[in-house]
A and B are shown apart, each in its own frame.
Chain A
Amino acid sequence: MPQPTPKIPTLGAIDCDVHVSVPSVGALMPYLDDYWADQFRMRGIDRLDFSLTAYPPNAPLSGRPDWRPKQGAPGTDREMLSRHLDRFGLRAAIAQCLHGSMALHTEDMAAAFCRAINDWMRAEWLDKEPRLFGAITVPMQSPELAAEEIERCAADQRFVQVLLPAATDMPLGRRWYWPIYKAAERHGLPIGIHAGGLFRHAPTATGWPSFIIEDYAAQSQLFDSQLLSLITEGVFTKFPDLKVVLLESGITWLPPFMWRTNKIWRGLRPDVPWVTQAPPDIVRERVRLTLQPFDAPEDPVKVRATLDHIGGDGMLLFSTDFPHWHFDGDDALPFGLPPEILPGLLSGNALATYPRLAAALQETVA
């Protein structure tokens, strides 16, 4: 195994966004109960392709050329992920599994998929790579079943957050989804909202764009809408210990979001009387963003200005977004980041955000 050299700038960092992929539905068969295993075989579901519209497996963004296994889709090779952790000197990483079953309409089948995916992640990844922690995949189709799945998985402390997609049926703040937040808060699990999703309706307010590049560009606007939904519906008030992590959301949209919502809040407070704190203050206290894709230009002045506009020192969590392709070589840290933010960015902020991760790493140290 190649040893990390002490010069690696990310040595000891916590990578808050890496992806593992289910190679085929067949790989989940051992984790299904008899009824669902029978259903999957009988209906040929075990041979269906569950690729997501948001991430075509062969598109450049979906897999960096040197992070693509020789066989299978990006994110299916465990040894490659371990080599990634070695190369960047990473102390820990949080794995998200974005699976196509999130787009199903039937809540029971979706729940069966999620149970299988979470058990598969434990057996195939967490048991075999001790630096890896997981996000709980839940059936958004039914918040009650999602809460049950959180309860079932939470006993395993290696699950450190709950994963939700950015493109949903309804905005995530809606009370319909609150059972999920209740369960997550109870178990000290932040809600991680990740780019991509269901495509139940057009991903922009002006209809269906033609190109993948537009869908991906629209993700920042989706995060913007989801964040405001969580704020206006009062999720942060109702669940005072809940934290939200925006995964692969981009960074630079946040200051305009804070300015605009702050102004509108002043004008329209009676519309949402339970929101008693200014939106930027809520965001700085309760919301974190992963680093990649870092969408500021390679200009230290603009990078510094953007970080000043965001304010709040602890907002960013280091991520490589492995195996997605946002940077080349070892340049996981964007050009122009001020050195003084690195200790927090690389691990301190993540430890403060993920209590389960902090506890586990504390044990490792001791």
Chain B
Amino acid sequence: MSQTVLEALGSQQQKVGIVDCDIHPNFRSPADLAPFMATRWQQHWREYGSHLRQGLSSTLAHPRMTPGVARADSWPPNGGPPGSDLEFMRTQHLDAYGIEHGMLMCLRPGGCDERNLDFGAALCRATNDWQVEAWVRKEPRLSAGITMPQEDAAAAVAEIERCAPDSAFRVINMPPRMLEPAGRRKYWPIYEAAVAAGLPIGIHISGVPGHPSTGAGWPSFYFQEHHANAQSMQAVVTSLIMEGVLEAFPTLRFVLIECGFAWAPSLGWRLDKLWHRMRNEVPQVKRPPSEYIRERFWYTTQPIEETEDPGHLREIIDWIGWDRLLFSTDYPHWDFDDPNYTFRIQLTEAERRGVFRDNARKVFGL
């Protein structure tokens, strides 16, 4: 029963241009980033490698189901990993689907997770400069996100201030899984810098903080690890609200990337009930939590929620707000959403324009 009706609606060819809010660029080898790093850090990387809060230095502890977490057809002719060849990305993705604009979400080499803060900062700087030189300057359809070493707020702010004046950057990237929940005060200088720069914070699933990836402990399977992304993002939203971040920074906006969205109404209802009961514990929260959720958060669509009854998806999006969803493909990853088959419900023209293009233009200032 639950397995039926996958593609009942067939293809819905996109007539409007598409903004893809989650594209992953990759580097072929550390040599690609070397020109943007001091010799000292190139040497450090070569000799000591990545130093993370997990047992494996460069492999995730839950091996993925496909090489490179990628679509089988996304390995480019340059011999590098998926996402490492701009020309191939143009042909296979941007041109093929009529992507008018793409937001790069650079997950590697993950300077934000390094235990050595100075090395992490050096990796972030190099990642940012490389994104601009290797991608955005060569392809005007692409924009970048600022990666920063969030556990060292001063260094993170310096990196934001260094990069933000360049219009190549349209968002500041943070992992949801950090050493502390996102609302804790150690991160507030970052939010202050984001407000000053006029950029939203984009939180893309990732992070190696040493905490188990579920509150129940370490899962056994990639299945669970993948599923848990939705839970860690709920903890982020809860923390940002309850710590008073959204009150303290009333213009700050958050884009939640690749974590689903169907949970948002439920989380808002639950937090509202608890707030009515225990608001004296969190006097910094001035309004029902669901109001902050409605006003300050956006969600990318991939992996699109597949309700058993397609009509239920419309109900969920009606509750969240059609102005909150930003289309994304997650190219070149395995669970890519094809824009022609993403929705199993018929969208109105206004909904389609908003979700596939205009909402993103507005939130990222494209």
CB of B94, distance to nearest CB on chain A (Å): 25
- Which residues does chain B contribute within 8 Å of A340, judged by CB atoms? none
Q: Assuming the A-B contacts A205-B215, A209-B181, A214-B181, are A253 and B222 also in contact, with contact meaning beta carbons closer than 8 angstroms in the complex?
A: no
B52 within 8 A of A: no
CB of A322, distance to nearest CB on chain B (Å): 16
Q: Of residues 287 to 323 in A, which have CB atoms within 8 Å of B's CB atoms?
A: 293, 295-297, 302, 305, 308-309, 311
Say whether A171 contacts B243, CB under 8 Å: no
Say whether B218 contacts A216, CB under 8 Å: no
Say whether B212 contacts A60, CB under 8 Å: no
Q: Select A60's contact among B3, B265, B278, B312, beta carbons within 8 Å.
A: B278
Say whether A213 contacts B282, CB under 8 Å: yes
- Which residues does chain B contribute within 8 Å of A218, judged by CB atoms? 215, 234-235, 238
Say whether A256 contacts B211, CB under 8 Å: no
Complex CA distance for A265 and B65, rounded to whole angstroms? 12
CB of A334, distance to nearest CB on chain B (Å): 11
Q: Assuming the A-B contacts A214-B239, A264-B227, are A221 and B234 also in contact, with contact meaning beta carbons closer than 8 angstroms in the complex?
A: yes
Query: Residue on A with the closest CB to B175?
Result: A206
Q: Which of B16-24, B112-120, B302-310 contacts A (4 or more CB under 8 A)?
A: B302-310
Say whether B232 contacts A262, CB under 8 Å: no
Say whether B65 contacts A270, CB under 8 Å: yes
Q: Which of B129-137, B266-274, B291-299, B322-330 contacts A (4 or more CB under 8 A)?
A: B266-274
Say whether A210 contacts B242, CB under 8 Å: yes
Q: Of residues 205 to 264 in B, which have CB atoms within 8 Å of A's CB atoms?
A: 207, 209, 211-224, 226-228, 230-232, 234-236, 238-239, 242-243, 260, 262-263
A226 within 8 A of B: yes
Say whether A256 contacts B305, CB under 8 Å: yes
Say whether A208 contacts B65, CB under 8 Å: no
Complex CA distance for A305 and B266, rounded to whole angstroms? 12
Query: Residue on B with the closest CB to A297?
Result: B269
Complex CA distance for A285 and B318, rounded to whole angstroms? 30
- Which residues does chain B contribute within 8 Å of A41, judged by CB atoms? none
Say whether A296 contacts B222, CB under 8 Å: no
- Which residues does chain B contribute within 8 Å of A186, judged by CB atoms? none
Query: Residue on B with the closest CB to A203?
Result: B215
Q: Of residues 205 to 261 in A, which have CB atoms within 8 Å of B's CB atoms?
A: 205-214, 216-218, 220-222, 224-226, 228-229, 232-233, 250, 252-253, 255-256, 258-261
Q: Assuming the A-B contacts A259-B262, A311-B308, are A225 and B214 also in contact, with contact meaning beta carbons closer than 8 angstroms in the complex?
A: yes
Scoring B3, B184, B209, B215 by chain A CB atoms within 10 A of each residue's CB, the highest score goes to B215
Complex CA distance for A272 and B207, rounded to whole angstroms? 24
Complex CA distance for A60 and B221, rounded to whole angstroms? 38
Query: Residue on A with the closest CB to B303?
Result: A263
- Which residues does chain B contribute within 8 Å of A252, judged by CB atoms? 265-266, 269-270
Q: Select A258's contact among B232, B242, B308, beta carbons within 8 Å.
A: B308
Say whether B275 contacts A309, CB under 8 Å: no
Scoring A173, A174, A207, A281 by chain B CB atoms within 10 A of each residue's CB, the highest score goes to A207
Interface size classification for chain B: 35 or more
Q: Select A205's contact among B183, B231, B281, beta carbons within 8 Å.
A: B231
Say whether A206 contacts B281, CB under 8 Å: no
Q: Assuming the A-B contacts A225-B231, A252-B265, A265-B223, are A213 and B274 also in contact, with contact meaning beta carbons closer than 8 angstroms in the complex?
A: yes
Complex CA distance for A27 and B65, rounded to whole angstroms? 54
Say whether B184 contacts A210, CB under 8 Å: yes
Say whether A167 contacts B215, CB under 8 Å: yes
Say whether A205 contacts B262, CB under 8 Å: no
Interface size classification for chain A: 35 or more
CB of B88, distance to nearest CB on chain A (Å): 24
- Which residues does chain B contribute within 8 Å of A261, judged by CB atoms? 227
Complex CA distance for A214 and B236, rounded to whole angstroms? 10
Scoring A173, A200, A206, A233 by chain B CB atoms within 10 A of each residue's CB, the highest score goes to A206
A280 within 8 A of B: yes
- Which residues does chain B contribute within 8 Å of A201, judged by CB atoms? 211-212, 217
CB of A58, distance to nearest CB on chain B (Å): 12
Say whether B216 contacts A168, CB under 8 Å: yes
A61 within 8 A of B: yes
Q: Of residues 32 to 91 in A, which have CB atoms within 8 Å of B's CB atoms?
A: 59-61
A278 within 8 A of B: yes
CB of B237, distance to nearest CB on chain A (Å): 10
Q: Select B180's contact among A166, A206, A212, A233, beta carbons within 8 Å.
A: A206
Q: Select A260's contact among B262, B266, B269, B281, beta carbons within 8 Å.
A: B262
- Which residues does chain A contribute within 8 Å of B232, judged by CB atoms? 204-206
Q: Select B222's contact among A207, A216, A271, beta carbons within 8 Å.
A: A271
Q: Select A212's contact among B217, B281, B315, beta carbons within 8 Å.
A: B281
Q: List 5 A-B contacts (CB under 8 A).
A: A171-B214, A267-B334, A295-B273, A309-B307, A326-B277
**Besides the known contacts A168-B216, A169-B217, A259-B305, 19 further A-B residue pairs in the complex with CB atoms under 8 A apart:** A204-B231, A205-B176, A205-B212, A206-B207, A206-B211, A206-B239, A210-B181, A211-B281, A213-B281, A222-B214, A222-B216, A225-B215, A225-B224, A229-B214, A229-B219, A232-B221, A252-B265, A262-B308, A309-B315
